Structure 1
Amino acid sequence: MKKTFLALALVTALAGCNNATQDTHANKEAQASKDAQVSAVASPQQQAQALFQSYFEESMALSPVYATFVGMNEYNDKFSAPISEESLAQSLALEQKYLDKINAIDESALTGQDLLSYQIFKRDRELEIKGYDFPSYLIPLNQMYGIHNMYATLGSGQSAQPFNTYLDYQNFISRTDGFSAYMDSVIVAMREGMEKGVVLPTPIVEKILPQLSVHVVKDAKDSVFYGPVTMLSDNSELSDEQKQQVTEQYQDMILNTLVPTYDKFYQFIETEYLPKARASVGLSELPDGKAWYEYQIETNTTLPLTAEELHEFGQQEVARILAEMNKVKAQVEFDGDLKAFFKFLQEDEQFYWDSEEEVVAAYMDIKDDINQRLPKLFEVFPKADYEVRAVEAFRAASSAGASYQSPAPDGSRPGIFYINTHNLKAQPNFILETLSIHEASPGHHFQITIQQEVKDLPMFRKFGGYTVFSEGWALYAESLGKELGLFSDPYQWYGRLSDEQLRAMRLVVDTGLHAFGWTREQAIDFMAQNSSLAMSDIEAEVERYISIPGQALAYKTGQRAIRDLRNQAQAELGEKFDVRKFHTQVLIDGALPMPILEKKIMAWVATQK
């Protein structure tokens, strides 16, 4: 996965519920003043720039946890308002207000970045408003992206929430009260979903239960939320008296707020919700599900694609990659058919790590090798570094094999490449090179960090993104491996094929589940027949596609779009084509919807001529 990058992806589970904090009278007056300033400026360029900033600030007020991830620490004590008709209406009103405002600006008067931002902003507001036709708030969490997991990561002391000063600790205590109230509203929303027949499938609900029970502890020291307390001994900012006070406060917060919150939700899921969970798994099985899935395709690919087109594309790619895998089998002189080769790769001890520490160390070692090769294909590089960490135990069982969390915008925290060591059989060493490329450099870390570091981008672009761009870029980056001098070992090349095969199978399985009535078992069998993935990995992948329809379609569609643009640019420019400059053009304006990226690249090609 996550594809999607972890920090933003996790918070998306919260922001996607369209929740909102309550405007105070002072906030409304301040916003009215800003609106007046926007309308008073003279030029369309100034109006647009002021509008983008105003929208970003208002949206951060409605999603304060997201604000923490992008470095706006004034929101560190706040949590999104509980799910309600009022908060949903407020969030929708924000989108409509800014769509009206952007439509009032003369697009023909804009050029360059201002025009690009205008087109992106307008498109996004229209798509967000369209999304309110579907009741996603009735299923606000799942085993992959859930506020119950995200908040534990946030409160562990190893994420975006700062725990340096006395105020930092008090902020999280205040935020926890908001989290508890929000979780109560999740129960209300999910009960409404039960009444309307909009519920999660049974296997997904079953995966949520252990994610909740792990936080129901008797001793506060056994909680992941106690992590910041263990950091106090090395903290010189707090006095001994403050440290003692914080320790007592956190013990009280854990045992009297967090444990009851998680236990209450666990009891609700186990006794009320699970018996009402559905046997079907496809989004099309829900009310208006066909249109809902079409919206998910549009949202995740930014392209006018149908389920039928994607399903066929996936099947073609699966067949092509199987043929390439057969070539590797012949190259290593394996005696047997492809199915036997898969079994050999799954079972032979030479392909597997002995410990979590060995896995993390191997990915740190390959980091330096890859970084030295990058100037061959790139001329812009991220300033922030990244580190490799194992996925935390409390969420590892249902997490993707790897994921990425972006660095702090101010440089105080590096990017994090998370590797899931829950099942070492799901982390074969032959994916070492391709997985590092995808999650770190020149994949997610490279693209996302450059986007954050580009000067003068509006904040909504600097910290926004599109799955089709970020995941498409990361998969395209994998395809650069041989150009970088990697994949010389045939098994590492097989790892690249295995990774691409996973993305090709996603096209078939995601559309199969949500458009063509496939069962969970049918999807699992398809992936088992066409890959060497561990069964535990396959089950987690299939359940991921069940939970977040359409997201898995972004990888191959984005890769194809970027590769097609490169081929087209190279064909038109001939000897004038410079792959480093092409990559700069793809990366330097941040994530873009694919149609807008195409217009941008074609305009660049024209200038190169």
Structure 2
Amino acid sequence: MKRFFKWLGAILLGLSLLIGSFVAHEWYAEKPLSFRIFLDRTLIKFSLETPEMLTSLGILDSVGITAHNGQLDDLSLTHDKEKNHYIGQVVQVLNSYDNSNLDEQEQLTKEVAQYWLSQMIADPELHYHDYPVNQLFGVQNNFPTFMETRHQVKDEQGALYYIARLEAVELKFNQLLEGLEFRENKGIIPPKFVIKRVLDEMRGFVETPAHENILYTSLEQRVMALEDISAERKARLLNDAKNKITQSVYPAYTVLIDYFVALNIKATDTVGFWSLPNGDKAYKRALEIYTTTDMEPDEIHRLGLSEVTRIKAQMLSILQSQGYDTSAGFSKAMEALKADPQHYYEDSDEGRAQILADYKDIVDEIDAGLSKVFNVRTDVPIEVVRIPEFKEQTSPSAYYQQASMDGSRPGRFSVNLYDIKATPKYGMRTLAYHEGIPGHHFQLSIAQELEGMPMIRRMSPFSSYSEGWALYTEQLAWELGFQDEPLDNLGRLQAEIFRAVRLVVDTGIHAKQWTREQAITYMLENTGKAYSDVVAEVERYIVNPAQACSYKVGMIKILALREKAKTALGDKFELAEFHDAVLKNGAVPLTILEKIIDNYIAEKSE
């Protein structure tokens, strides 16, 4: 983290202390003389408006600036309008920097920033085509998760900020309600199943006694561990928290519950974006954002069908070699595999604890064996944890949460242990490689530590790159011999066909008018995944259109670029150097990644 502190000191402290009037000019000028200062200043100003992001990053805490930890993000329509106006001004200034005055990396940074920021403000009439309250990543379930996993309680002040945030929920949810009503008036209403899911979740949340709620128990555990305050003071803090949960948090959730009970009358069972006003256009825009391509829904649908056919043939071959009867077809063979108890852990607390321990061993093993194919590495630690039980039923099989930039919180590979049959042993290696090393944890941690890069490059959020990379590493691990058991390779192929099926299902739902049931049936027939897993996934695509398409599109592009480099360079090709070119520039749109690899090929060819 030393590089981060160098950057932080140069930007935050330096702005006020080092260069006097010049720095003041650079901070307040419409167009700073320094392109780098303009970019970092933009990110700082944007971050200062999002206290939850500041808490997650840990940027200001290390220099003693902590007041944001007692605040929540502003969700008001006015704030949205102001934010978009500010981004529009930033884009204008960004475009005014002449490329002839920028070095090669600065030109690349400009191109990445232009793409990212312009996408954020494009098509303003479509900005509210989403469901902010949903069963997967809604505001209502993100809040307790954020408080448990992101909000730090290292001293009494941290506890006081925690309590302040409990009180601030009422304002945040009132702002949220304003946006929900705005969407309702535009005809952007979630499907009935989404409303049922969130109502069940929120009712269970508020019916839990305050002292048993995750917001209380999470704080209690951390407060009781503090050594520098008295038992009496701890008791008062926890009592204050309990009162805030009862008097502020639960009433805020109750208002949302009442709203969705009323909204359910207007909702339908139709699940695709095609049914919304301007829905086709909104879905096309979502595909552009997530895949960073101009691929049409039909093109992506056909690609998915083709990949499903290819991968299924390889899986059938492995199943047959392992003694499973494939004469009745793929689905029956996978059912037989799923029904075999030897592939599962004991359905108990002990069994679930062993799953977490084995995941950690898998991650540690591959981390120790990557030196030949990666020059760039990271020392950021990773931990394997269980997804909070209150949200397991509606969560995916796993996800990754990035480490804080100040080093106070490691990266987190979170695993869903609700249904033990959703964690077959033969699929664990692939999942650990995707979420952990050399997948998300590896790539995101390296991006955080890129020396000399402006922060906008270290934090760029291009899903086709990051998810494409994680899926690419699943195949890479197999190529390196980490999935040498046939069933481990079957697990890899099952994960890959899962992503190919996503191309079919996502476009099917949002462009081809598939029902939720059609999507579930197709995914069950073509993946061999547990029913609970499939339902959660399909319902994810419904509330987050196009994101699921980014995985396979990104993987295919990275593999194509690797093959392009191999063909062009011949004996000069080195896999570690190719990985350097991909990783050492941070996340970028796929079109820009191709330029980066073309430059790598040209330089290596000289």
Compute the TM-score of the two structures, normalised by the length of structure 1: 0.91
How has the CA–CA distance of structure 1 residues 229 and 545 changed in structure 2, closer, same or farther, with 3 Å as cutoff?
same
Match of 2:281 among 287, 291, 299: 291
Specify whether residues 230 and 482 from structure 1 end up closer, same or farther in structure 2 by C-alpha distance, changes over 3 A only. Answer: closer
- Other-structure match for 1:76: 69
Aligned: 1:267 with 2:267: no
Residue 266 of structure 1: CA displacement? 1.9
| Inter-CA distance 137–341: structure 2 relative to 1 (3 Å threshold) | closer
Query: Counterpart of 2:74 in structure 1: which amino acid?
Result: A
Query: Partner residue of 2:38?
Result: 51
- The answer to whether the Cα contact below 8 Å between 1:476 and 1:563 also exists between their aligned partners in 2 is yes
Residue in 2 aligned with 1:350?
342
* Aligned partners of 1:197 and 1:286 also within 8 Å: yes
How big is the shift at 1:120? 0.8
Asked if the contact 1:142–1:547 (Cα under 8 Å) also holds between the matched residues in 2, the reply is: yes
Tell me if the contact between 1:80 and 1:178 (Cα under 8 Å) persists in the aligned partners. Answer: no
> Counterparts of 2:380 and 2:276 in 1: how far apart (Å)?
44
Distance 1:237 1:456 in 2: 39
Deviation at 1:464, TM superposition (A): 2.6
**Residues of 2 paired with 1:193 and 1:315: CA distance?**
34
Q: State the shift of 1:263 in Å.
A: 2.3
Distance 1:33 1:211 in 2: 51
| 2:169 counterpart of 1:179 | yes
Alignment-mate amino acid for residue 164 of structure 1: K
1:169 and 2:159 correspond: yes
Instruction: Give yes or no for the alignment of 1:238 onto 2:229.
Output: yes
- Distance change >3 Å, CA 138–CA 193, structure 1 → 2: farther
- Shift in Å at residue 35 of structure 1? 4.8
Tell me the CA shift for residue 191 of structure 1: 2.6
Letter in 2 for 1:265: L
**Aligned residue for 1:248?**
239
* Shift of residue 218, structure 1, vs aligned partner: 5.5
Residue 587 of structure 2 aligns to a residue in which SS? coil
Q: For 2:363, which of 360, 367, 375 is the aligned residue?
A: 367
The CA deviation string for residues 84-130 of structure 1, in whole angstroms up to 9 with x for no partner, is 2x222201111111011111111232123211111111112211111
Contact 1:38 1:50 in 2 (8 A): no
Residue 115 (structure 1) aligns with: 107
Identity across the alignment (%): 31
Q: Is the 8 A contact 1:229 1:250 kept in 2?
A: no
Counterpart residue identity of residue 94, structure 1: Y
Q: Encode CA deviations 1:425-448: one digit per residue, 9 max, x unaligned.
A: 111111011111101000011000
* CA distance, structure 1, for counterparts of residue 318 and residue 130 of structure 2: 47
Displacement of 1:214 in angstroms is: 2.9
- 1:605 is matched with which residue: 582, 601, 604? 601
Q: Are residue 393 (structure 1) and residue 410 (structure 2) matched?
A: no
Measured in 2, the distance between the counterparts of 1:205 and 1:356 equals: 31
Deviation at 1:569, TM superposition (A): 0.5
Q: Deviations over 1:300-320 (max 9, x none)?
A: 011111111100000000000
| Segments of 4+ moved more than 6 angstroms | none
Shift of 1:141: 2.6
AA paired with 2:180?
Answer: M
Q: Distance in 2 between matches of 1:400 and 1:584?
A: 31
Identify the match of residue 558 of structure 2 among 556, 562, 567: 562
* Distance in 1 separating the partners of 2:561 and 2:92: 33
How far is 1:137 from its partner?
A: 6.8
Partner secondary structure for residue 374 of structure 1: coil
SS in 1 for 2:264: helix
**Which residue number corresponds to residue 584 of structure 1?**
580
In 2 relative to 1, CA 124–61 (structure 1 residues): closer, same or farther, beyond 3 Å?
Answer: same
* TM-superposed deviation, 1:456: 2.1
Structure 2 match to 1:93: 85
Q: CA RMSD in A?
A: 1.7
Q: After superposition, where does 1:511-550 map in structure 2 within 5 Å?
A: 511-550=507-546
* Aligned-pair CA distance for 1:542: 0.7
| Structure 2, unaligned runs of 5 or more | 1-22
Query: Which residue does 1:278 correspond to in 2?
Result: 268
Does 1:194 find its partner at 2:184? yes
Change (3 A) 1:111 1:511: same
Which residue is equivalent to 1:25?
A: none
Aligned partner of 2:302 in structure 1 is 312
Distance 2:121 2:274 in 1: 21
Cα distance in 1 for partners of 2:556, 2:480 equals: 20
**Paired residue for 2:465?**
469
Counterpart check, 1:422 vs 2:418: yes
> Hey, what does 1:147 align to over in structure 2?
139
Residue in 1 aligned with 2:10? none
User: Counterpart of 1:441 in structure 2: which amino acid?
Assistant: I
Q: Distance in 2 between matches of 1:545 and 1:209?
A: 19
Paired letter, 2:72: F
Match of 2:8 in 1: none
Please list the CA deviations of residues 306-362 of structure 1 after superposition, one character each: whole Å capped at 9, or x if unmatched.
Answer: 111100000000000110011101211223432321111221111111121121111
Q: SS where residue 414 of structure 2 aligns?
A: strand
Query: 1:247 and 1:582 mapped to 2: Cα distance?
Result: 53
TM superposition shift of 1:228: 1.3
Counterpart residue number, 1:493:
489
Task: Report the CA distance between 1:34 and its aligned residue.
Answer: 5.0
How much has 1:463 moved relative to structure 2? 2.2
The answer as to whether partners of 2:561 and 2:597 remain within 8 angstroms in 1 is yes
Q: Distance in 2 between matches of 1:33 and 1:82?
A: 31
Q: Closer, same or farther in 2 for the Cα pair 1:171/1:34, shift >3 Å?
A: farther
1:238–1:37 distance in 2 versus 1, CA, 3 Å: farther
Q: Deviations for 1:540-571, whole angstroms, at most 9, x for unmatched residues?
A: 11111001000001000000111111000011
Letter in 2 for 1:532: G
Contact 1:38 1:51 in 2 (8 A): no
Q: Does the CA contact (< 8 Å) of 1:82 and 1:181 recur in 2?
A: no
Structure 1: distance between partners of 2:28 and 2:145 = 40
CA–CA separation in structure 1 for the residues paired with 2:154 and 2:123: 39
For normalisation by structure 2, the TM-score amounts to 0.91
1:481 aligns with 2:477: yes
C-alpha contact 1:83 1:137 (8 A) present in aligned 2: no
CA distance in 1, matches of 2:130, 2:591: 32
Match of 2:52, SS state, is helix
- SS of structure 1 residue aligned to 2:480: coil
State the one-letter code of the partner of 2:478.
K
CA shift for structure 1 position 37: 4.3
The alpha-carbon distance between structure 1 residues 135 and 580, as it changes in their structure 2 partners (threshold 3 A), is closer
Post-superposition CA distance 1:259-296 (Å, at most 9, x none):
22122212322x21222222211111100111101100
In structure 2, C-alpha distance between the alignment counterparts of 1:275 and 1:605, rounded to whole Å: 59
Q: 1:172 deviation in Å? A: 2.1
Alpha carbons of structure 1 residues 38 and 457: separation in structure 2 relative to 1, 3 Å = farther
C-alpha displacement at 1:231, in angstroms?
A: 2.1
Residues 23-62 of structure 1: pairs in structure 2 closer than 5 A: 35-37=27-29, 39=31, 41=33, 46=34, 48-62=35-49
Q: Structure 1 35/365 Cα, relative in aligned 2: closer, same or farther at 3 Å?
A: closer
Structure 2 Cα separation of the partners of residues 246 and 123 of structure 1 = 46
Moved more, 409-418 or 258-267: 258-267
User: Per the alignment, do residues 193 and 112 of structure 1 end up closer, same or farther by CA in structure 2, a change over 3 Å counting?
Assistant: same
CA contact (8 A) 1:377 1:484 kept: no
CA–CA distance in 2 between the matches of 1:39 and 1:329?
A: 62
The 3-state SS of whatever aligns with 1:214 is: helix
Q: Bigger CA drift: 459-468 or 487-496?
A: 459-468
* Structure 1 unpaired stretches of 5+: 1-30
1:237 and 1:382 map into 2 onto residues whose CA distance is 34
